[in-house]
Chains A and B, each alone.
Chain A
Amino acid sequence: MTRPILEVKDLRAHLMLRRGAVKAVDGVSFDLHPGETLGIVGESGSGKTMMGLSLLRLLPRPAGRIVGGSVIFDGEDLLAKSEREMRAYRGSRISMLLQDPMTSLNPVFRIGNQVAEPLTIHQKLAGRGLRDKVRELLRLVRIPAPEARMSDYPHQMSGGMRQRVVGAIGLACQPQVLIADEPTTALDVTIQSQYLRLLKEIQQETGVAIIFITHDLGVVARMCDRVAVMYAGRIVEIAPVRDLFNNPQHPYTVALLRSLPKLEERAEKLYAIGGQPPSLMNLPKGCAFTARCGLANARCREAYPPQVDIAQGHMARCWRTEEKAHV
C-alpha cells in the first residue's frame, strides 16, 4: 500500500456563534491515497462541507476555528503552516471545487482570465505560454472550441460548461488532491453523468486523488473507491464502496441505503428514518444517532462508541456492531 497523500487525524472544527459553539467537525479521521476517490457522504448538518473547508483552512472567519487534530499532506502538517504558506498550497497542490457553478465564477471576468489566474499566481506563467496552457486546460475538460470560448463570460455558458470551467481552474496546477464539494448537485441528469465521467477520465490521466463530498449515494456508487459516512460531525462508517453497499454496519448507513427509492424496482413504501438530525450545538452525550436508531440501548446513550473493525478497511462506530463483532 502506498503512503497516503493525506492523513487526517481527529480533526475538530467549531463555529463560534452568538448562541453557542457549533461542533461542525467533531473528531474526523481518514486517509487518502494517491489516485483514489474517497466519498464523504452526509446530509445537511453532518459537517461534510465544513470538513472540506477545514482541510484547506478556509473556514469562515472569525466564527470558524479549527480546534484540534492534524492534517498531514504529503508528510507536512497543514495546520502548522502560516497563512502565507497555506496560500501556496491552495489551488496548486490541493484544490477545491465548490458547489454552485453560478457563484463560483466571477461574472465580470472572461473565463480565459479566470482559468489563467491560478497559473499566474502559482506557476508565474505569462504571455503565449499562459494562453497555450489555458487552451490545454479547456481541452482537458472537453470544452469545444477552446480558443473561442476563452473570451466568453460565464453567463454565456450553460451550467454544465461552467462547472467544467470550474474544474479547469481547480486542475490548472495539477494538484495532488482535489476536494469536490457537491459539484454536480445543480446539474441535470445527463450533464451530471457527463461531468462525472470526465472527472474519472481526468483522474486516470493525471493521478489526482479526489475527495468527493456529496449527499447522493448514487454518485458514490458511480465514482468512489472508498466511502466515509458522516453524521453530526463525525465519521460513523468507512469502507470500500462495495463493502458499504453490500454489508453496511452502522444503523444510519443501513437506514440511508434502505430509504432510497431505486430506479430498478418499485417499492410500495420506502423505509423512512424518523425524526431529525441533531442540532450541532447540543450534541448528546453518547452516540448522536441514538434518538433515531431502532437498535439503540442504554450504552448508546451513555458513551460514544469506539471504532469497530469489521473487515479490511471497513470500520464503524457503533456499540451494537461492536457487540455483534464479539459474538
Chain B
Amino acid sequence: MSQSVDDRSIPYRPPGRGRRTFALLAGAPIIPLLIIGLFVLAAIFANFLTPYSPTQPNLTLRLLPPFWVEGGQLAHPLGTDLLGRDMLTRIMYGARVSLTVAVAVILVAKTIGVVVGITAGYFGGWVDAALMRLADATLAFPGILFAIVLVVALGAGLWNVVLAISLLDWAGTSRVIRGEVLSLKNRDFVAQAKVAGCSPLRIMAVHLFPNIINTLIVLSTLQVGSVILAEASLSFLGAGVPAPAPAWGQMVSGGKAYLTTAWWLAFFPGMAIVLVVLAFNMLGDWLRDVLDPKMRQV
C-alpha cells in the first residue's frame, strides 16, 4: 500500500471508557432505585417475606390500627383491614399485581407502538396517514372509560386489564417513535442502505430500530407510572383484577368509606401507588438526561 495512505489505522478509542461508565452510575438516583427495588423484591418474594395470607380472613383481628397507634400490634405493623387481613402483606401482594400489569402492558403496548411508529415514519404517505389517524382515534377516547368498557365487555381478569390498558398506551408511543424515525430516515446511512439494496423491512429492523432503543427505554420508564395509575384507577372502580386478589386501587376503594375511622385502609395502599409512580418518574427523568448526550454523540 502506498505511503500516503493512513498507516495509523488503529481506531481512536475515547479514553477511560470504564471510568466513564463508573461516573455515570455514580450519578444514578439512589432513592428511586431503592424504592423500586424494594417493591420488586416484595412482589417477587412476598411468599417468603410474610407469614400471612393476603386473602384469608381472620375476623378476630379486624381493623387493627398500625403498630404505633394505640391498639395496634407489632405483628401487624400497618394494621389489618375489614376482614382482618394484614395490610403490609396485602400491599406486598398488591405490588405483584401492579408490577406484573405494568411490565405486561409495557411489553405489549411498546411493541405495538414501535411497530406502528417505525412503519408510519418510514413509509410516510397514506400508510403514515392511516396509522396516525388510528392512533389519534385511540387517543381521543376518554381513557379510563374505554378501559372500563373493555373490561366489562371482556370480563374481569389480569390479562383483560393488560389488554385494555395497552390499547390506550400504544398510540402515544407510536407518535414519539414516528417522530424519531422521521428525523433518522433522512440521514445518509439510510440512503446508503437503500443504495446497497436493503429491503424496507431490513432497514427498519437493522438500521432504524437500534437507534430508537434509547428513546424507547426512556418512554417506557416514564410511562410505567401512568400504567400503574391506570391499573389502580381500574381496580378502584371495580373493573380491575377481581377480588380477593389484592390490588392497590381496589384497596383504596374499599377504604374510602372509612377515611375518618380506619384511615390506614386507604392510606397505605395510596402511599404505595404514590411512591412507585414517583420513583419511576424520577428514574425516567434521570435516564433521559443520561441517554441524551450519548445520543447526540452518535
Contact = CB atoms under 8 A, between A and B. Distances in A.
A19 B19 contact: yes
Given A275-B6, A276-B8, A20 B20 contact: no
Contact of A269 (B4, B12, B15, B16): B4
Interface of B is mostly: loop
A275 B14 CA distance: 17
Contact of B15 (A270, A271, A276, A282): A282
Contacts of A145: none
A271 B23 CA distance: 43
A315 B73 CA distance: 88
A19 B15 contact: yes
A272 interface: yes
A84 interface: no
Interface string B11-42: 01011100110010000000000000000000
A291 B20 CA distance: 28
14 contacts: A18-B20, A19-B15, A19-B16, A19-B19, A19-B20, A20-B16, A271-B4, A272-B4, A274-B4, A274-B5, A274-B6, A274-B7, A279-B12, A279-B15
Nearest to B4: A272
A20 B6 contact: no
Nearest to B19: A19
B15 A275 contact: no
A281 interface: yes
B183 interface: no
A18 B23 CA distance: 9
Interface string A119-140: 0000000000000000000000
Contacts of A274: 3-8
A177 to B, nearest CB: 33
Most chain B CB atoms below 10 A, which of A269, A271, A274: A274
B9 to A, nearest CB: 10
Interface residues of B, number: 13
A274 B5 CA distance: 7
Q: How large is the interface on A (under 10, 10 to 19, 20 to 34, 35 or more residues)?
A: 10 to 19
A287 B6 CA distance: 20
Contacts of A271: 4
Most chain B CB atoms below 10 A, which of A19, A270, A275, A276: A19
A18 B19 CA distance: 9
Given A274-B8, A275-B7, 7 more contacts: A18-B20, A18-B23, A19-B19, A272-B4, A274-B6, A275-B8, A276-B8
Nearest to A271: B4
A281 B15 contact: yes
A276 B23 CA distance: 29
A279 B11 CA distance: 13
A275 B4 CA distance: 9
Interface in A257-297: 269-272, 274-276, 279, 281-282, 291
Nearest to B2: A269
A281 B23 CA distance: 18
Contacts of A19: 14-16, 19-20
A224 B107 CA distance: 62
Contacts of A282: 15
Interface string A279-321: 1011000000001000000000000000000000000000000
B122 to A, nearest CB: 27
Contacts of B5: 272, 274
Contacts of A276: 6, 8, 12
A40 to B, nearest CB: 25
A205 to B, nearest CB: 43
A19 B293 CA distance: 14
A60 to B, nearest CB: 14
Contact of A20 (B4, B8, B12, B15): B15
Nearest to B8: A275
Contacts of A275: 6-8
Interface in B189-238: none
Contacts of B8: 274-276, 291
B208 to A, nearest CB: 27
B63 to A, nearest CB: 56
Nearest to A269: B4
B291 to A, nearest CB: 16
Contacts of B19: 19
Interface in A13-29: 18-20
A270 to B, nearest CB: 8
Nearest to B3: A274
B161 to A, nearest CB: 44
A170 to B, nearest CB: 29
B23 to A, nearest CB: 6
Contacts of B23: 18
A272 to B, nearest CB: 4
Contacts of A291: 8
Contacts of A18: 20, 23
Contacts of A270: 4
A20 B16 CA distance: 9
A274 B12 CA distance: 15
Contacts of B15: 19-20, 279, 281-282
Contacts of B20: 18-19
Nearest to A291: B8
A20 B20 CA distance: 11
A20 B6 CA distance: 27
